Chain A
């Protein structure tokens, strides 16, 4: 994890928008020893270009936070190399911290301090801080300035946390589930902030359970599963090549040939029949032509192109998570429904 002259030069060039803000090679991270050893990250390669927004997605336990902690310099890798702004997050800690802002998954504040006191505390630890008032204004917390943190709502506390994260005008921002627990209006406000950061030239890496959020904000998505990055690219690239689906209430008769569409075997005998196809238009046309010719009424018809969500759910359902060598009863990675978008 040494920093060579070459990478420093790369970092300098990075400010012009060509190099990587984060460069991770072969990152592995193991917790525990011997039979209890658990490899949470199993060889992650990640490149985050300067000035972009990258979303790190995955089910609970996929290894997102473990990966982020190493990049943030809060945890050590078992093996692999990590460069942040061309620097080593542990050896060059002081400089890296000055230029980065971190929002952890859970906020950490003293309940007995007021919003202003908390913000002032953060202000005192920063090298190039925004004024306290400006940081609070940014997250719409001015009216709450004199309120104790313990009396804030979950969303307000999260906004205070974000105000602290952005107070130091970071070039690189880590946001670990920034909108979890926020009301829809606050979520939009956070989105606006993230877009503002990008417009200002900052680099953002964000984890979220909301796929629509990732699609809205990120230039690039990285989907993690079982300690690995299993899919990367734009939302379109990720969905590309994945089958589209047609679903309808079960018909009491045999289906015709559907121009390449095949019935998903798991829907046999179920109330809903699901057809998968790589050519949605052709298959749908074949189905509807057949229905008109035969006078069949298709109830509950639903046709959709492959979406980020369907790809994500397919990945989450796949059981490639074999990180635990021992047969100890370990709760399975949280299944898809809990991590699917919850409204909004």
Chain B
């Protein structure tokens, strides 16, 4: 069979090559970044290899922009709704659903259990799974800037507010994905168990058509917070339509950003309490 023997000499780490300390390597072996990126790379390959998930993750979030073709060029209401939906669909598909099915599948394949026997910490393993979806979300938001501009929409009014909002919504839905995975029996069951979170995600965007009595509650949903952030951060408008300056937009974004931060913290704590590393059985 093999020609390599495990002689004592072969067993010691090689002095050069892989271990050359002078090699220009920003993330040497043994560093957390190296481990997270290495595992995230494999997760990205898996995401791209599953064509259905990949199509959902990358193309579906862009559909609302396509719908802008059908509306009057530069219409603000349509623009705000479309861009808020782009971010929300990115949170739902590449982040939430992809991560949910990845977690359940890899848990059931015993990959998570196996990885935990190695040097990677639990947090690193979780981060490596969330990373590809979060990167897709950020890329889609970035891509939306020129696409929306081409369709007559303005450039973002306050990019910082938008970026922080996008990161918070990604964190919240990543946490919710790990939490949902904890009580999802297998990959097929994820189609059903994902429903409650997806409902919570979209209910906030439906505020305009829901009864007035429940409106105060809707303000605290991630969907409503995203809607407000797109309105403030991209279009420079208060919820009532009044213009807001760049400086004032930070203050105006406070409440929706806090809303998303609360969702992120709650989701992370739910995930931490419920995380399962081995098949449910």
Contact = CB atoms under 8 A, between A and B. Distances in A.
A201 B3 CA distance: 20
A201 B8 contact: yes
Contacts of A94: 119
A199 B7 contact: yes
Given A108-B110, A112-B50, A121-B38, A138 B119 contact: no
A98 B13 contact: no
Interface residues of A, number: 49
Interface in A88-130: 93-94, 97-98, 102, 104, 106-113, 117-118, 120-130
Contacts of A109: 109, 111, 114
Contact of A126 (B6, B8, B30, B41): B30
B104 interface: no
B119 A127 contact: yes
A108 B10 CA distance: 27
Interface in B13-61: 13-14, 17-19, 29-30, 34-35, 37-39, 41-42, 45-46, 49-50
B29 A137 contact: no
Given A97-B119, A121-B41, A104 B46 contact: no
B240 interface: no
A196 B5 contact: yes
Contacts of A140: 1-2
A169 B2 contact: no
B18 A129 contact: yes
Contacts of B110: 104, 106-108
A302 interface: no
Contact of A117 (B3, B6, B45, B116): B45
Contact of B2 (A111, A120, A125, A138): A138
Contact of A102 (B45, B105, B117): B117
Contact of B116 (A74, A193, A197): A74
A110 B46 CA distance: 8
Nearest to A109: B111
Given A72-B117, A124-B41, A110 B1 contact: no
B6 A124 contact: no
Contacts of A110: 42, 46, 105-106, 109, 111
Contacts, number: 125
Nearest to B114: A108
A110 B45 CA distance: 11
Q: Which of A125, A127, A137, A139 has the most CB of B within 10 A?
A: A125
A331 to B, nearest CB: 16
A165 to B, nearest CB: 8
B196 interface: no
Contacts of B11: 169, 197, 200-202
A127 B29 contact: yes
A279 interface: no
A196 B6 CA distance: 5
A121 B8 CA distance: 26
A299 to B, nearest CB: 44
A309 interface: no
A131 interface: yes
B157 to A, nearest CB: 41
Given A108-B114, A137-B2, A193-B6, A113 B42 contact: yes
B4 interface: yes
A223 B229 CA distance: 65
B112 interface: yes
Contact of B42 (A98, A117, A169, A185): A117
B113 A98 contact: no
A11 B87 CA distance: 54
Nearest to A142: B2
A334 B113 CA distance: 25
Contacts of A185: 1
Interface of B: 1-8, 10-14, 17-19, 29-30, 34-35, 37-39, 41-42, 45-46, 49-50, 105-106, 109-121
27 contacts: A93-B121, A104-B117, A107-B110, A108-B109, A108-B115, A109-B109, A109-B111, A109-B114, A110-B111, A113-B42, A120-B42, A123-B38, A124-B29, A124-B34, A124-B41, A125-B38, A126-B118, A134-B4, A137-B4, A138-B2, A140-B2, A166-B6, A169-B13, A197-B11, A199-B6, A199-B7, A200-B11
Interface of A: 72, 74, 93-94, 97-98, 102, 104, 106-113, 117-118, 120-131, 134, 137-140, 161, 164, 166, 168-169, 185, 189, 193, 196-197, 199-202
Pairs A-B, 8 closest by C-beta atoms: A124-B38, A196-B6, A108-B110, A108-B114, A127-B30, A200-B11, A102-B117, A121-B42
